[in-house]
Amino acid sequence: MELIRKNDYLWEIPKTGRMNVPGRIYSSSSMIDSVSKEEACKQVANVAELPGIVSASLAMPDIHWGYGFPIGGVAAFDWKEGVVSPGGVGYDINCGVRLATSSLHVDDVQSRLEDLADALYHGTPSGVGSTGSIKLSKKEVKKVLGQGSQWAASNGFGEDLDIRRTEDQGCMENADPEAVSERALERGTQQLGTLGSGNHFLELGVVEEIFDLDTAAKFSLFPGQITMMIHSGSRGLGYQICDDFLADLTRHARKSGYPLPDRQLAYAMIQSVQGQRYLSAMACAANYAWANRQIMMHRAESLIMKTLGISPNTLSMQLLYDVCHNIAKKEEHMVENRKTWLCVHRKGATRSFPPGHPSLPEEYRTTGQPILIPGDMGTASYILAGTEKAMTETFGSTCHGAGRVLSRNAAKKASRGRAIQNELAGKGIIVRWTGRSTLAEEMPEAYKDITDVVAVVHGAGISRKVAKLRPLVVIKG
């Protein structure tokens, strides 16, 4: 597929054939050759064929093949004349990341990291199909779907600050539990407060480097600081909602005679009954995910205090921010010099709203939105801030992580004969895991270099570096 270099960090797929807009991929000279050979580039072009798409079909530097849309894909559709596609959100609706800061310095906990790893592993249900101690009726699950993080906080799992520092205050308002199937509700009754499997994790890290002193101070970050990052999503409930609507919208597209560049890109017009019903169900899964991460954070905080024998004041753990990766949202953006309501799909991409944006909490109005970019379990993670350039180029979006370069099967083959946990221990990283093949599938070489990925979005100006974190303790499913 032809890629035309536009500048140091941007390549374009020209508008050809049935494409309504060009494709644009953010990458670097060192990464673009491998990107150009991936099926994901074809997926960028396929998305450009969907009705109502505006400006361009976009991909971030962590691009790799996904279901329908590529992972790292961003596309915005006119709210009145465009479409919504479950393939542009993904199965793990509102898979996302939250980061909490503390008052602890790495020297305070270095000798207790093994104890903390054991406590967090045993106290955080993880793995495929894992269930937690919170057992809900379907009626109560519907309350979670309608209230999100606010349900968790009102039931003793957090406080008002947590709500304020969560994207959308942890609750999408258009959620309608009646749009969710009985099977999805059933899967949601026992999985609140659970981590899941695959690339999901709970991680204790240390602030290793600061790039922007002023912004870091406003984010309450300091060198040597202990942080906690949680990466998880909507669990079986979200998966079931996606599965239900993919089947429904595939039938709808076939019956309606919609042209599909890829059957995985089944869609409905946003203003149709089917489109609105999917958005309402998707919002329910997003709210479940926010409640899930909120509960895990609150419980992990208690586990840390109990293990170290310290008080809440000594730990002083506070949520920095919570961002979602897989979502479709109604947002207002400038299109051809006029404000336009759009449905912005971000699949494996993170919001990057600039200073002054009204959706941000007051304390971040001067800095821009905190952006959390996790790397693989053996390298680093980054904290960035949103920029005005992201609003003009990417609908306020940036990357969401490192991005895979090896499939899970390929990673397992490449790791044969190796003891990944020992390799990580040699780097000072303590890991606990549940699944038999988890460490092999998630080994560091399975991912792009997170530093290279972040360098692209920083160099392109669609987000800016604030701080770098190094992992100390990693809990995997």
Q: Residue 170 and residue 260: Cα distance in Å, rounded? A: 34
CB 254 within 8 A of CB 116: no
- How would you classify the pairing of strands 430-432 and 464-476? parallel
Find all residues with CB under 8 Å of 272, minimum gap 6, and list them.
Answer: none
Dihedrals phi, psi of 92, to nearest 5 degrees: -90, 80
- Helix %, strand %, coil % of the chain (to 5): 40, 25, 35
Extended strands (E) in 23-176 = 23-26, 57-64, 71-78, 83-84, 96-105
Angle in degrees, CA 362, 363, 364, rounded to 5:
90
> Residues 298, 325, 400, 458: which is the catalytic one?
400
Answer whether 405's CB lies under 8 Å from 447's CB: yes
Contact 13/44 with Cβ under 8 angstroms? yes
User: 391-410 burial string, b = 16+ CB within 10 Å, else e?
Assistant: bebbbbbbbbbbbbbbebee
E-assigned strand segments in 250-398: 268-269, 318-324, 326-335, 338-347, 350-351, 370-373, 381-385, 397-398
Distance of CA 214 to the CA centre of its chain: 26
458 is catalytic: no
Which sequence positions are flagged as catalytic?
Answer: 400
